Amino acid sequence: MDLSPYLETLRRDLAAAAAPGGPDVTHAAELLAGSLEASIRLCLLEALSDATAEITTQLDSASVEVRLRGREADLVVTETPQFAAPAPPPPPPGDAADLARVTLRLPEPLKEQVEHAANIEGVSVNAWLVRAITAALYAGPQRPPTPPRPPRPQRGRRITGFAQS
């Protein structure tokens, strides 16, 4: 989107408003328009940015961005794919005789979260835990996140490289 036509319209309107004041006022208006061009361009970009943010909040499966290319602003619409969470695979078949009893000790806050999640889904805590464990087992191996490395202490300035004279 080229912003120049909007700036030219503003410049013409300012010159037309200053024309009845005579040549000195018209000249002052031209100087003012030239010095305000960068500020007006920035205001237009901010208005576009605010508009795209508001439009994006109203869209379900897309986002709108303002991208600057030189002195032009491009409006870009990006579709966001809607992925349905895959249902966890059913537990391996077995009959009631294959059931095993396990005692599980959970911290109280975690137990309350599990109970809450089971209530939301309308299933028992046992059924919820069986589903969660099955999904974790069939999801494949997952590596635990690596802890961040501590920053290296700076020992001084060292310059390495290659120089040719």
Reported as a single tens digit per residue, the pLDDT across 58-84 is 877 788 888 877 777 888 888 876 665
Q: What's the CA gap between 67 and 45, in Å, rounded?
A: 10
Residue 164 has pLDDT above 70, yes or no: no
Q: What's the CA gap between 3 and 11, in Å, rounded?
A: 13
pLDDT tens, position by position, 22-41: 888 888 888 888 888 888 88
**Binning pLDDT at 50, 70 and 90, where does residue 156 land?**
low
Q: What's the CA gap between 48 and 104, in Å, rounded?
A: 55
Instruction: Give the per-residue pLDDT at 58.
Output: 81
Residue 132 has pLDDT above 60, yes or no: yes
Q: What's the CA gap between 24 and 19, in Å, rounded?
A: 9
Which among 55, 51, 88 has a CA at the least distance from the CA of 73?
51
Tokens of 141: 């191996």
Cα–Cα–Cα angle for 10, 12, 15, nearest 5°?
A: 110
**Binning pLDDT at 50, 70 and 90, where does residue 148 land?**
low
